[in-house]
Structure formats: C-alpha cells, structure tokens
Structure 1
Amino acid sequence: MNKNLFSLLGLGTTLVTPAISIYAQQTKSPNFIFILADDIGYGDLSCYGEKTIHTPNVDKLASRGIRFTDAHAVAATSTPSRYSLLTGHYAWRRNDTGIATGDAGMIIRPEQTTIADMFKTCGYTTGAVGKWHLGLGDKARTQDWNGYITPGLSDIGFDYSYIMAATGDRVPCVFVDNQRVVNLDPNDPIQVSYEKPFPGEPLGKDHPELLTTLKPSVNHGHDQAIVNGISRIGYMKGGKQALWKDENIADSITNKAVNFIRDNKDHPFFLYFATNDAHVPRVPHPRFVGKSGMGARGDALLEFDWSVGEIIKTLDKLGLTENTLIVLTSDNGPVVDDGYQDRAVELLGKHRPWGPFRGGKYSIFEAGTRIPFLISWPAKVKSGVSNALVSQVDLFASLSALMGKEIKKGDAPDSKNYLSAFLGETKKGRKYIIEQAGTLSVSTSKWKYIAPGNGPAYNKLTNTELGNSKEPQLYNLKKDRGEKENVASKHAMEIETLKAILEKEKALNPQYVPITH
C-alpha cells in the first residue's frame, strides 16, 4: 500500500513490515465504483431538490458523501463524454469521437492508457458492466460479431466486461460478455450494417404494424431494424436468440455488477457500472411501470434508483461500504423526447429534468453538461454539499494521486489532480472548465464564454436549445444561472480573458491520437 492511502486511512506507513502479507495490505485499499447514469439531468434526482420524483437510494448515497452542485461532464453527448472520463483526454482534441454507430471501431485505442489500466497496475481487479458506446474492434464494420471481438475492453485495462454492444437505440441489440456475444446461436450468425438494409428483414418505416412496443417520433431516424417490437438505428440480421429483452436490461446488468462485487469482495476492485435506463428506447421493467406518474422516462428514473440500491445493499451486506469510494454521475444532461413516442413530454408535468438551467442533452448551455455528481467514501469523506467547480476529466489524475500512482508522460494529458476537492477537503476546484457540444465553452465559477459556432441554435426534434450562435456569448452564472442574458457586449475584458484560455488549451493539443479507424 502506498503512503497516500495510509495517510488517508489514518494509518502510519511504519505499520507495513515484510511480515505483513500483500493480501493484508490490499484489504486496506479502498474499492472504487463508478455508477454512470445515461441522460439523467441535474433535476432528475430528489437529492438535488426535485420534488416530483423520489430516488431514495441515490439520496442515501448522497447522505453518505458529498453532493456537488457545479460538476460537469466534458461533453453533452454520450461517446465523447465517456471517452474523456475514462482517458483523461478531451474528446474534442480528436475528430472521431462523435456519437458512435453500433459498428464503430474502438474509440479508445489499445495504446492509450485508461483509468482502468491505472487501477490494474495498482493490483486491482477491474470490470466494466452496462452501456459501452465507445466502439469495438479495430475499425468500423470489421467486428466479428460471431466470434471473439478484438480489440476489446481487455485491451484497455478491464479484466472483465459485460456490456451492451453499443447503446439501446442502435443495433446490434446484444450483450457482449468478455468480447463474445451472449447466447449466440452459431447457426444464426449476426450481420450488421449502417449503410444498407438486409433483404427480407422488415424495417420500422415500412412496417409500422410490427412496432408493438414503441413507435419512433417523426423524423428521428429510429425507423430501421426492428427488435422486440421497436425499430432502431441501423440494420441487423440474425442473432435472434442473442437479442436482449429491453425490459430486462437493468436487471441483467445490475445482476452482473452485483456478482462482480461479490466475486471480488476479498481483494480490491474497480467497477465501471454504466446504466441505460433513461436513454431511449425507454422500456422499464413491469414492476416499475406506472410508478412515477411521468410515463416511461419517470419510471426509468425509479429503475435507475433501484440499480443503485442493489449496489448499496450488496456493499452493506458484504461489509464493504465503509471502504468503497463510489462516484455517481451522468454522461450528459437530460432529453425528454429523443426519438420515440413514449409520452415523456406529455406526462412530464411539473418535473424539470434540467433543473434551473438552460438547454439539455446536445446543448452547450449549462444543462447539457452540468450533471449530478456524488462521491461517497464513508471511511474518509464527510457528508455535505460542495460548490467546487469540478470536471469528470479530472477523476483519472485525482484517483491516481490517491493511489500514489504517478501518471506517465502522455497519459491522461488533460486530467488534473483535484483530489482535495473530490474528497471534500476543500471547496476550491478548477479555475476553469472546458465543455463541448457543437462548439466549445470555457467557464469559471462565475463566467461562461461560449465560442461562436456555425451549428443550429435549436434542435426541433428534441425541443432543445443548442446554444450555437455566430456571435460570442458571455453569461454571469452567479447572477444568471439560467443563461438568460448574453452580456458579451458589456464585458469585453472577460471575453478576451476566457477566449485566450480557450485558444491556449486548443493550441496545446496534447497526445493527439492519430486517426487509424
């Protein structure tokens, strides 16, 4: 065990002698769990003050640790956000980290170092369970869905993986267990395409009568391959026995996460548990249907809370709670109608998934990237609330510091050590953060500058303000957290200061990874 951990655990380094076994040392090391929600916004959890939803298990976790009010994902969409969290590298420094198709090659390349790699070198068993959406295989369209898919998660630091091949609304709709499709019948091989349909396979746009579970919203593009009475993005043939059941996704991945914890209870582990619930298509298990009064999206939030509860219950039962550091957060902000007729808008009522902020998923405004963020480690972290400015990109460097692990040159180049802020020892976080959604923004705890961009200002399909403008934007978040008034014309000095920070960061371009797929 390293000196940093001994200090944090209240132990003196002199306690370690050659007579103490490695096993005895390792039992003192904390376990780590990342619970990464999908499309859950700042206002979707009751611990953030929302009165229209009750998420008691998340609330329990919050009561055991720190709830951050100014925490941010790097991007307002899934793939780039997850990439940055796992690698400590800004996704916007690359040109291939957009929303990944289901047949995308690995976005994180095997030569890159991930946070899982870091834990593994510290003697941890590492696991990834749930939504992946960061590509598989070497290059797009080259995966062997009917054999061993390589490269895969074992090449980027994970000892064990049980993942959704892509994401809920994209084919192939199968689980991949340690890089092999689960329950695959070799006599019914999988074929996947994002270019053209397979002859004889019905599509949602042509056969609405087959859409018995959910129908797509108009012009959203979820009208291609039909799986479980739901049309998806992309084309697929075969693999019928391997297809997941949408209403069982949460149960399946939660069960795998719980089993991983049980299997590794006697030695330190790192678990990356990425849920799918609030992401479309939303098909919560029947035991949650109708429970929220807000339709499928609200019920999915309760399902997510149940998954969190199962993790907490397992840790409590195994006596691991005190010395397990849990990070609970979301990949980006919320979206209500994201492509299916699930009555989410109609039944929303007074619920505000975005909280007091403007925008949502896909948006450079605050609700796109200001996300729920909790850290619980009862052995060392006191319960409370922190308004420190923090970013998910810094988890890599901060937890490396906790482990006493020096980051090699070139690894996690954009991640900085803010361990004291994450552990609640100080409320001073980053001086500024950078976020991505169509354009880039740079924010301090007070000012937010949004760089001019050529993208649309509004997404009619999702009813979301994207924040793009050909003019520079500046908002005083202390006085105007809803970003109602652009004060760029009144504060030229602030504009120049923040613009200079952004340009400096863009010029650095550390560890630019050559595009090979």
Structure 2
Amino acid sequence: MDLKYIFSFIPFLFTLGASAASITDENKPAPPPNIIIILMDDMGYADPVCYGGGPYQTPNIDKLAAQGLRFTDFYAAQPICTASRSALLTGCYPTRIGISGAIDHNAKFALNPDEQTIAELLKSKGYKTGMVGKWHLGHKEPYLPLQNGFDEFYGLPYSNDMWAYDYEGKKWQDSTFWRAQYPPLPLIEGNKTVKIIDSFDGQDQLTTDYTNRAVSFIKRNKNNPFFLYLAHAMVHVPLGVSEKFKGKSGAGMFGDVMEEVDWSVGEVMKTLEQNHLLENTIVIFTSDNGPWLTFGNHAGSTGGLREGKATIFDGGLKVPCIISWPGHVKPATVSNQLLTNMDLLPTIVNITQAAKPIKKIDGIDFTELLLGNTQSTPRDELAYYHNKNNLKAIRKGKWKLVFPAETETYEVPATIGGDRYPGKYATVKVPLALYNLAIDPGEDRDLKDQYPEIVKQLQQVADKYRRTLGDGLNNMEGTEIRPAAQL
C-alpha cells in the first residue's frame, strides 16, 4: 500500500477516535453527587443574616443561600441535641428508635447499630464517609461513628459543655456538684482519645480545627464520591472563638463566633471550587435545634418565634436550612414548605440511588421540591415529641395543636444570664391551645374555641401517632417502637 495514502488516512483515524470518545463521554452517566451536611449546634432560626440575623456578618452562609434554596419552615425532629441528631442520620422520629434527650458519659443507651445511618447507606454505594465534630449518639465503642458507617471520625463524643469546668473555665470546687463529676472532655480520632480539652483556649480552637479537618477530607477524596458530616461545636455554650476572630464582629462574643463559623462555611465552599467539585456537590446547612436562650447574650435568636431550645414551641424546633447544588437547584429561591431533618435521608438516598433503609422510617423524600417543583408538598404533618416519648403537639398544614403538659420556659419566672453565665430554669403548665402558624408564627393567639372542628381533626391525627409511636403523657406504648442499644 502507498505510504503516502496511509499517512493521509491517519488524521481521519484520530478524528474518528476523538468522536467516539466524545460519544462515549456523553453517554457516560454522571458521577453520583458528593454530599456535605454542615450541622450547627444551637443555632437559632434567625441567626444567619439571610434569616434576619446580625449586626455581625455571615457573607458565606448568605452566598450559599443566594446560590441555592433557603427553607423558611424547616424543623428539627426534637428540640434537643441527641434526639435531633438521631433523626437527621436515620430519618426516624427519635421516639421510634428509643432515643431521647442529650446524653453524656453516664448514658445507659445509644443509637442502635441495627439502625441504618446516611453514612452506612452511602458507604454501601461506594462513598467515602467522614465525620468531623460532635457525635452525641453514644460515647464509646461500639457506638461511635466508625461503627455507624463512617470511615473517619475526628471530634467530641458529646456536647462541649459536658466537662468539669465552671463558667470561668476553672474546675468546679464543689466535688458534690453534678457537673464536677464529668470526666475530662475527650477529642477523639477514630476510636481513640488524642487530646483533652480542659480550658476555654481548647474550646477556642474547635471551629478552626474542625474546618481544617473537613477541608483535608474533601481534598483527599476529590476523586471519589464522598459524604462529609461536619457537626460544629458552635454556637453551643461555652462559646469558643479563635484569635483571628476575637473582637472582629463588633457584636460581642456571639457575633465573633458567628463570623468564624461563617468563615468555616466559606472554606468548605472554596475547597469545593478549587477542586472543581462545586457543581457535583450537594451542600446542606442547618442546625440541630433552636437557641439556648437562658444564656442571654451568648445565645442566638429565634426571630420572634416562641421560646427556644428544649421546648416544643417553634423557637425550639424551627431552624435555618439551606441546600445548594449548582446546576440542579435553582439559585436564590425560597420555600415555605414544611420539612424536617428526618427528610434529608430519603432525599439523599433517592438522589444518589443508594439502597433504601430496610426498616420503616419517618422521613419523606422531597427531591421534586428541591429540583424546582414548587407545587410539590411532600410533608403535611409533624408530631412534636419531647422528653422520653411525650407527644406535646401535632401540626397539620398551617395548624398546630399544643397539648396540656408541663414544659420548660424562658419566659417569666425564668431569668436570663449572660457572658457565659446561664439564667435560672423555670417550668410552666401549658393548656390545650390551637395556633394558625401561617398568621401567628409566634404562637400567641389561641384559636381552639373558634375552630373546634380543627381541634378534633388534629386530635385524630395525634391518636394515630399515639398508637404507633406511643405517648408518655397518656401512658401509651407504641406498636412500632424499636429499642435503642443498651450500654
């Protein structure tokens, strides 16, 4: 064959090969999206500036909202740390899986290993899974993150105030005082304690330390689908802030802390952008419950919602939530659809095509809403459980029925503290009351006498939950309760 003909044919072969490669690339399925959940601790509904916060600045959180979807009716499943986190990771009402309260080193129960977490479901799909921050679902093996689907863990086993130090950062002098009984606060890597936090200086480093770990995890796993659960210690008391942010906000210690956690969000987003991961990463920013108002100027804001953390009024459960996924979620959009942190698991499972949980969950998939179907109404009900399994309120649509019970309160006769010092707790007996949250988000105007048919309807909804999940207020055992792990 004429060599001149052969050489003239070579460019055609390269063109054909390039075309075939292009066709192959076009037909190749897109890689599954990375998932990042940034969970704040005790951040109130109105703490980020894009939710009405200030006078500090949160430009990175605001930017996240500008490039994604901001929810205005998003709830934690319970208004307290451990219970809320169990709901987020399992998609279940905490009472369904035997979880309640905020556990410490004396806890007699933990998240049951038989429950499937987001991490376990994504790991089975080939995801690399990492957790940085506060776990709070079991303080020792075999109930730590590595036994619940995470490849890596660096953080605290429980809240950063569960230590033997007073509000000045000194060891409690009264050895009979219950807080003096706490062991040293352990910072854990994997399953082993690598550092003891025994001062406010140690608390000051947590946000930066956690952020650096999160950035490292993203960089090390940029070529694999990954799930990162970044559960900050802040803005839970005692507040801690690094030197680079002390006094920076001009809005006191709380403002400084808000600006540092905002910086942390910015570092995560910058790392995604630098590694060309932004458009293939779903970033979810939310909080575990409302603000701990008894700490006064070291607590956040509900934006006028009633009460705060550890109450079933909306100040305790309604939290900020922003979801960003460039190219998929329409930027600068706002949704007032009712959703909860339980709904994250089934939505993530659907989007990633991971296996669904084997056991029954309570979360509802809101993928359609996330991707732009504004007519989608995935959730219409919410059961407000608190304490061990007390059903204290029920919501359906815009209506919320509060049942008679004793509850913690931040109103009179409670007192509010400040500058690290808490005020005194108080309790109050609340009566049966009906609120229209669409026109009364502060839950100030009881309408039960005007709408007895709505009261009856919500009582019937409550009875459904009482039968299946129980109700301690009525001494009812649920038929669908699963036990927590017993330590």
What range is the shorter-chain TM-score in?
Answer: 0.7 to 0.9
CA contact (8 A) 2:293 2:308 kept: no
| Partner Cα separation in structure 2 for residue 213 and residue 495 of structure 1 | 49
3-state SS, counterpart of residue 34 of structure 1? strand
From 476, 499, 502, give the equivalent of 2:459.
Answer: 499
CA contact (8 A) 1:294 1:344 kept: no
Match of 1:386 in 2: 335
The aligned runs of 1:43-442 (5 Å cut-off) are 43-104=46-107, 107-137=110-140, 149-171=141-163, 213=169, 223-224=179-180, 234-236=182-184, 242-244=195-197, 245-338=202-295, 344=297, 353-383=301-331, 384-411=333-360, 413-427=361-375, 428-438=377-387, 439=390, 440-442=392-394
| Partner Cα separation in structure 1 for residue 409 and residue 40 of structure 2 | 27
CA contact (8 A) 1:359 1:465 kept: no
| Partner Cα separation in structure 2 for residue 507 and residue 371 of structure 1 | 28
| Partner Cα separation in structure 2 for residue 235 and residue 451 of structure 1 | 38
Q: Pick which of 372-381 and 234-243 moved more.
A: 234-243
CA contact (8 A) 2:311 2:409 kept: no
What letter matches 2:63 in structure 1? Answer: K
CA apart distance, 1:152: 2.5
Q: Label 1:466 to 1:237 Cα distance change in 2 as closer, same or farther (>3 A).
A: closer
Q: Label 1:483 to 1:455 Cα distance change in 2 as closer, same or farther (>3 A).
A: closer
CA apart distance, 1:436: 3.0
Q: Label 1:204 to 1:159 Cα distance change in 2 as closer, same or farther (>3 A).
A: closer
CA contact (8 A) 1:334 1:361 kept: yes
Q: Pick which of 481-490 and 237-246 moved more.
A: 237-246
| Partner Cα separation in structure 1 for residue 268 and residue 217 of structure 2 | 11
CA apart distance, 1:443: 1.7
CA apart distance, 1:63: 0.8
CA apart distance, 1:60: 0.9
From 439, 442, 450, give the equivalent of 2:402.
Answer: 450
Q: Label 1:470 to 1:355 Cα distance change in 2 as closer, same or farther (>3 A).
A: closer
CA apart distance, 1:222: 8.0
Between structure 1 and structure 2, the one with the greater Rg is 2
Q: Label 1:448 to 1:315 Cα distance change in 2 as closer, same or farther (>3 A).
A: same
- Structure 2 gaps, min length 5: 1-19, 188-192, 417-422, 470-478
Give the TM-score of the pair, scaled to structure 2: 0.81
Offset from partner CA, 1:164-186 (integer Å, 9 cap, x none):
12110114xxxxxxxxxxxxxxx
Offset from partner CA, 1:263-304 (integer Å, 9 cap, x none):
100010011110112101112112211223332222111111
| Partner Cα separation in structure 2 for residue 389 and residue 80 of structure 1 | 19
Q: Label 1:290 to 1:467 Cα distance change in 2 as closer, same or farther (>3 A).
A: same
| Partner Cα separation in structure 1 for residue 386 and residue 185 of structure 2 | 34
Offset from partner CA, 1:104-131 (integer Å, 9 cap, x none):
3662211111111111111111111101
3-state SS, counterpart of residue 455 of structure 2? helix
3-state SS, counterpart of residue 46 of structure 2? coil
| Partner Cα separation in structure 1 for residue 38 and residue 427 of structure 2 | 28
Q: Pick which of 371-380 and 421-430 moved more.
A: 421-430
Q: How many matched pairs? A: 433
3-state SS, counterpart of residue 242 of structure 1? strand
CA apart distance, 1:89: 1.2
CA apart distance, 1:153: 1.6
Give the TM-score of the pair, scaled to structure 1: 0.76
CA apart distance, 1:406: 4.6
Q: Label 1:94 to 1:476 Cα distance change in 2 as closer, same or farther (>3 A).
A: same
More helix by share: 2
Q: Pick which of 306-315 and 447-456 moved more.
A: 447-456
Offset from partner CA, 1:391-449 (integer Å, 9 cap, x none):
111111122122234524414x2122222123332252411222334553222341111
3-state SS, counterpart of residue 457 of structure 2? helix
| Partner Cα separation in structure 1 for residue 85 and residue 381 of structure 2 | 20
3-state SS, counterpart of residue 490 of structure 1? coil
Match of 1:477 in 2: 437
- Percent identical pairs in the alignment equals 34
CA contact (8 A) 2:404 2:429 kept: yes
Offset from partner CA, 1:304-363 (integer Å, 9 cap, x none):
10111110111111111111001100000112444xxxx726xx8xxx711131111112
CA apart distance, 1:387: 0.9
| Partner Cα separation in structure 2 for residue 409 and residue 241 of structure 1 | 35
Q: Label 1:298 to 1:102 Cα distance change in 2 as closer, same or farther (>3 A).
A: farther
Match of 1:513 in 2: 482
CA apart distance, 1:466: 8.6
Q: Label 1:95 to 1:468 Cα distance change in 2 as closer, same or farther (>3 A).
A: farther
